[in-house]
Amino acid sequence: MEFSAGQIAGLLEGEVEGDDNAVVTGLSKIEEGEPKTLTFLANMKYEEHIYSTNATIAIVNKTFEPNKELPKTLTLVKVDDAYSCFAKLLKAYDQMRQKQPKIEKNAFISDSAKVGDDVYIGANAYIGEDVVIGNNVKIYPNTFIGDNVKVGDGTVIHPNASVYHDCIVGKNCLIHAGAVIGADGFGFAPDENGEFQKVPQIGNVILEDNVDIGANSTIDRATLGSTILKRGVKIDNLVQVAHNVEIGENSAMAAQVGIAGSTKIGKNVMAGGQAGISGHIKIADRTKIVAQSGIPSSVKKPDTTLMGSPGIPIDDFKRSYIGFRRLPMIVKKINELDNK
């Protein structure tokens, strides 16, 4: 990557303050800026670093006015929103780094599979029977795509991910390394001797468009029907989504969230790390679940923030916690009164 300040300003509809021809070849954090790198200042908590950074170009808000002398080697590109503009550049940079269309040696593609245009398939990837792969898809090495899977245009599947048979992956999805889409749901029934017998899991998983799945996360196939992650859902690393779960549009689950079977989660729901959600319940739209909370029953009221285990409204939790912290003092006073 090599861009001048003028090119960056043109791309972001910004204004150059300094050397229009200053060139960068990489990116850096503002506190770790090095020559020939591009950085940004959006959060003013980091303002002090802009006066000492060695970066060559910094993206800043148009409202930024330095209160000290800036480094003579630093050129500013002033934009309306420094954070969103830097994110735009990161996206462009990431796209430039992605693999170019080709099918590498040792990739196995079934004769019955249909592969679209401008596709990259890495070495040792396995593409099963009757698979349909759209245009501009990237499938990295050692990936497994089972029989009858459909992969939509623009989707990226990183190394060592597995998409089991009959699953459907929409357009512009991102599946990170080690993720497993469509493993069996945890279905067992005890027989007359108390021994668990496996219940066949014959459904599938459907990821709608623009769904992201983090590294080593698992989305289990349905017993019957489909486990469904709707458009725009974002799943972090190490998340478990059980059989027949449905997650509504634009919901996000942080690392180590666990969702038990057949739960229906609404739109724009957010769950913090290590939250646990019981099975066969419903979570209303725009619910927020604080990290490490446990949700054992349905949440019927939208726009609720829950904390604790079992999860209760966050304001109630805070009041309860104050009481909990005072328990040792209260017990001590009770004992003193009892002794008197």
Secondary structure of 159-174 in HEC code, one letter for each residue? CCCEECCCCEECCCCE
Instruction: Give the pLDDT confidence score for residue 94 in this predicted structure.
Output: 78
The C-alpha atoms of residue 122 and residue 101 are separated, in whole angstroms, by 10
The pTM score is 0.83
- Rounded mean pLDDT, 29-33: 92
For 6, 88, 237, the CA distances from 21, given in Å and listed in that order, are 6, 21, 41
pLDDT tens figures, 247-264: 999 999 999 999 999 999
Give me the count of residues in the chain.
Answer: 340
Q: Spot the catalytic one: 49, 165, 176, 243.
A: 243
Instruction: Give the pLDDT confidence score for residue 243 in this predicted structure.
Output: 97
Beta strands 212-213 and 234-235, pairing class: parallel
pLDDT tens figures, 193-206: 999 999 999 999 99
Residue 242 has pLDDT above 80, yes or no: yes
Across all residues in the chain, what is the average pLDDT? Answer: 94
Q: Which two tokens stand for residue 256?
A: 């180590």
Decide which of 99 and 335 is more confident. 335
The C-alpha atoms of residue 158 and residue 236 are separated, in whole angstroms, by 15
Residue 36 has pLDDT above 90, yes or no: yes
CA 68 to chain centre: 39
For 97, 150, 261, 279, the CA distances from 217, given in Å and listed in that order, are 24, 20, 16, 18
User: What's phi and psi for 288, nearest 5 deg?
Assistant: -115, 130
Q: Taking the alpha carbons of 92, 98, 103, 107 in that order, is the dihedral positive or negative?
A: negative
Q: Looking at residue 118, what DSSP letter applies? A: S
How many helices (H) and strands (E) would you count in the chain?
5, 40
| Whether the bond into 310 is cis, omega within 30 of 0 | yes
CATH architecture of residue range(s) 3-97? 3-Layer(aba) Sandwich (3.40)
Q: How confident is the model at residue 326 (pLDDT cuts 50, 70, 90)?
A: confident
Residue 93 has pLDDT above 90, yes or no: no
Neighbours of 189 (CB within 10 A): 9
Residue 272 has pLDDT above 90, yes or no: yes
Tokens 């969103």 sit on residue: 84
Domain boundaries in the chain? 3-97, 106-244, 265-340
Bridge partner residues of 27 (DSSP) = 38
* E strands present in 104-146: 108-109, 114-115, 120-121, 126-127, 132-133, 138-139, 144-145
Instruction: Give the pLDDT confidence score for residue 340 in this predicted structure.
Output: 87
Which amino acid belongs to residue 30? I
- In this structure, are residues 230 and 212 in contact, taking their beta carbons and an 8 Å threshold? no
Fold classified for 106-244: UDP N-Acetylglucosamine Acyltransferase; domain 1 (2.160.10)
Residue 89 has pLDDT above 90, yes or no: no
The C-alpha atoms of residue 198 and residue 292 are separated, in whole angstroms, by 31
Instruction: Give the pLDDT confidence score for residue 143 in this predicted structure.
Output: 98
Q: How confident is the model at residue 96 (pLDDT cuts 50, 70, 90)?
A: confident
The C-alpha atoms of residue 6 and residue 16 are separated, in whole angstroms, by 7
> Cα angle at 131 between 128 and 133, to 5 degrees?
125
pLDDT tens figures, 139-179: 999 999 999 999 999 999 999 999 999 999 999 999 999 99
Residue 215 has pLDDT above 80, yes or no: yes
- Rounded mean pLDDT, 32-58: 94
Q: Which two tokens stand for residue 145?
A: 């795509």
Q: How confident is the model at residue 327 (pLDDT cuts 50, 70, 90)?
A: confident
**Is residue 243 annotated as part of the catalytic site, yes or no?**
yes
